[in-house]
Amino acid sequence: MQDQARLAELRQKFGREPAAPTEPRPGERTPREAQPRFRGLESGHRACQGCGEALAARLVMESAGPDVMVANATGCLEVFTTPWPQSAWRVPWIHSLFENSAAVASGMEAAMKAKGKNTKVLAFGGDGGTYDIGFQALSGMLERYHNILYVCYDNEAYMNTGIQRSSSTPHAATTTTSPAGKERMGKRHLKKDLLSIIAAHHIPYAASASVAYPQDLQRKVRYAMGIDGPTFLVVHSPCPLGWRHASALTIEVARKAVECGLFPLVELERGAVTNIMPIRQVRPVTDYLKLQGRFAHLTRDGDPRAQEERDHLQALADYNIQVFGLAGDGDDPADTAGVTTVGRGGPLAGRAS
Amino acid sequence: MRDALEGSQAIARAVSLCKPDVVAAYPITPQTHIVENLSKLVAEGDLHTEFVSVESEFSAASVVLGAAAAGARAYTATASQGVLLMAEVLFNIAGMRIPLVMTVANRAVSAPLSIWNDHGDSMAVRDSGWIQLHAADNQEAVDTTIQAFRITQETELPVMVCMDGFILTHTMEVIDLPDQATVDAFLPPFEFARKLDPQDPKSLGTLVDPGFFAEVRHSHHAAMAKALSVIADTDSAWESATGRACGGLLTVEGDKDAAVGIVAMGSTTGTLRAGMAHHPDAGPARLIKLRSFRPFPAQALIEATDGLDHLIVIDRAISPGLGGILGTEIAAALADVPNAPKIHNHALGLGGRDIPETIYADLMAAVTDPDAPLVFDADMAKLAPEDR
């Protein structure tokens, strides 16, 4: 009853009265097909089934719109979208090198300024190209205050070269260069807290997002697009091949990463946290770990080292929940997994704390 | 207008006359005065450009790449370690056939650390696919810089204008700077056919499989061959516009009937010219000033060396384990020439070692010395016996 009352309250406030789904008549376009949606990244590219990065890039491009140009770092996204002479991009797009997408974008933005054009420049990189090898160029771009939205598609390892560890790989995850064995339990080091480093640049806007929450992701892109200055978005993008989960589980895995606190969804303005997505039902990290082969060594029974690492990861998640105040107020009828995710991270999210 | 200008200042003024849309640079000795002067022109409102002060040479090269790809006339300058830090981007710029201009204030490459001149830096990226033009004096550096902007547009090949660090960059001499109208008439507005444009979206820098890579490299090589005539024609056009030429691909001076020839690049040619004038006892020589190192003008060199018995080739860099780079390339170019001159290849002036005028007489004398060392001006007495 309480739930029904809350729903009624929400419907009145936001005016969302769900209409009964109707089947389209023959020859009629479905609402989805009829939706005027800009597709910057077309289908038909060569990403793996269930690729989180491909989904994230499509969502980003939809919200960024047609008057953009993209500088793309070397990586899966570059390779699977542009095997010459094919290209899946419907916007001007350039790939130069692994570590310079932020700098190439800086030049493109300078050119737009010199020519008096308003075309927004986007820079894309994976976690390798952002957390590691392209880190310096990114810092320079933010410091020089270029009008660029930088999007990092974070799949937590060098997937394009065959799943090698990066500074974004979570603690204890196995990769081909951080395997588990008699002497090792996967990656020995922590995932780099990139967002804090970005925050230290005091740029207008920085945020984390997840492919499991597309509306939230797109809202963040639209918000960043409206800012004349450097903005940064890191999108948690599962890689079924590298994380070793079924390709149908991409969204579920991404969602569990948020729900357990290991990948907090936060927004920062000028370096200060201004919004978070609350977790209504905080899950134990094991719910997230057990879906993925990269953590299989942590879910072995009777291995004290596995228990120790699980505790370690739980402590990291607990820390995130504490510092960002992520713990919500329990079950929410408008926010149940498997139903619509509309409202997450929107005005509703801000009311939770 | 004739004015007493430091080399770097003159280059900054020349670049400014070409109205670049975007300039990106990172400071490194001896390039600094160029970017300082450009910054000053921007600060005073004399140059309207997006000046991007980047955090490394790697980003300087990346910024001008992005700017040119987006349809802007772009310029950068560097030297030495900066060239090497840029190396990956330089190959990428050339491979993508992005038109832009860069000044290299030639300086030795560490280790040992040296801020002084030699050609080790630009030689290290000789295979990057850039056009490399060497200026023998500051007037040539100014004129070549302006020509470079036209050459890069016409060829879609990036152009590196090499000038000897300190020897040229920090030397004040009288420079005749062309007026704006002359440069405007000489240099068409910047257009890049493949530019990034939301009205006509293209994908640049895509992945190419083995089925097409070889063709890309071939076309790049072919474009370099075609650039030979563009470089020569552009210099002729400049001569028509200003009355001054830089010597096209190469120039031949001195005694054209001499049995000995000397090939050099950059400011060394001026030293040799003076040495020849002041040391007539050493005998006459045909002096060949090579301006275009890439593309390599093999045919022009064959013609320029015709009839010589001996050819002294001056390198200002060495390839350890091989020897002189220019010397090796000229030997290859003359390999099939009947009665080709005997080549005497020497490296001089490494790491800023002063090249005195007297070197001319020493080089001429060494033609008959089969044991003359490759590093011609190295003092063996300074080395331990096992290092000699």
Residue A135 maps to a domain: yes
The pLDDT confidence band at residue A15, using thresholds 50, 70 and 90, is: low
Is the backbone of residue A15 left (phi > 0), alpha (psi -120 to 50) or beta? Answer: left
User: What are the distances in angstroms from CA B204 to CA A69, A320, A336, B73, B119?
Assistant: 11, 40, 43, 18, 32
Closest residue, chain A, to B208 (C-alpha) = A84
Q: What does the DSSP 8-state code read for residue A131?
A: I
The pLDDT confidence band at residue A332, using thresholds 50, 70 and 90, is: low
Is the confidence at residue B298, as pLDDT, over 70?
A: yes
* Residue among B19, B42, B65, B203 with most chain A CBs within 10 A, to mutate: B203
SS3 B88: helix
Q: Which residues of A touch B190 (CB under 8 A)?
A: none
Output phi, psi for B324, to 5 deg. Answer: -75, 145
Residue A273 maps to a domain: yes
Which residue among A83, A112, A139 sits closest to B207, beta carbon to beta carbon?
A83
Residue A159 maps to a domain: yes
Q: Which residues of A touch B196 (CB under 8 A)?
A: 69, 92-94, 108
Indicate the average pLDDT of chain B.
97
* Residue among A67, A81, A100, A136 with most chain B CBs within 10 A, to mutate: A100
- Domain at A162, CATH number: 3.40.50.970
Assess contact for A47 and A57: CB atoms under 8 A: no
Burial of B113 (0-12, 13-18, 19+ CB in 10 A): exposed
Is B63's CB within 8 Å of A99's CB? no
Residue B155 touches partner A, C-beta closer than 8 Å: no
What's the pLDDT at A2? 57
Domains in chain A, number: 1
**pLDDT per residue over A126-150, tens digit each?**
999 999 999 999 999 999 999 999 9
Which residue among A83, A100, A110 sits closest to B50, beta carbon to beta carbon?
A110
Residue A279 maps to a domain: yes
Is the confidence at residue A29, as pLDDT, over 80?
A: no
pTM: 0.91
Least confident residue range of A12-26, A121-135, A186-200: A12-26
Residue B199 touches partner A, C-beta closer than 8 Å: no
Residue B182 touches partner A, C-beta closer than 8 Å: no
Residue A353 maps to a domain: no
Cα of A274 vs its chain's centroid, Å = 18
The pLDDT confidence band at residue A345, using thresholds 50, 70 and 90, is: very low
Nearest to B263 by CA among B193, B199, B315, B320: B315
The pLDDT confidence band at residue A11, using thresholds 50, 70 and 90, is: low
d(CA B225, CA B240): 24
What's the pLDDT at A31? 60
Residue A70 maps to a domain: yes
Is the confidence at residue A343, as pLDDT, over 60?
A: no
Residue A99 maps to a domain: yes
Q: Which domain holds residue A189?
A: 44-338
d(CA B237, CA B233): 6
Is B196's CB within 8 Å of A87's CB? no
The chain A residues in contact with chain B (CB within 8 A) are: 66-69, 71, 78-79, 82-85, 87, 89-97, 99-100, 102-115, 119, 136-137, 139-140, 143-144
Is B62's CB within 8 Å of A95's CB? no
Q: What is the DSSP track for B271-334?
A: HHHHHHHH-GGG---EEEEE-EEES--HHHHHHHTTT-SEEEEEESSEETTTEEHHHHHHHHHT
What's the pLDDT at B304? 98
Order of strands across the sheet that contains B101-106 = B50-53, B22-25, B74-78, B101-106, B159-164, B131-134, B292-294
Domains along the sequence of chain B with CATH: 2-242 (3.40.50.970), 250-387 (3.40.50.920)
Residue A112 maps to a domain: yes
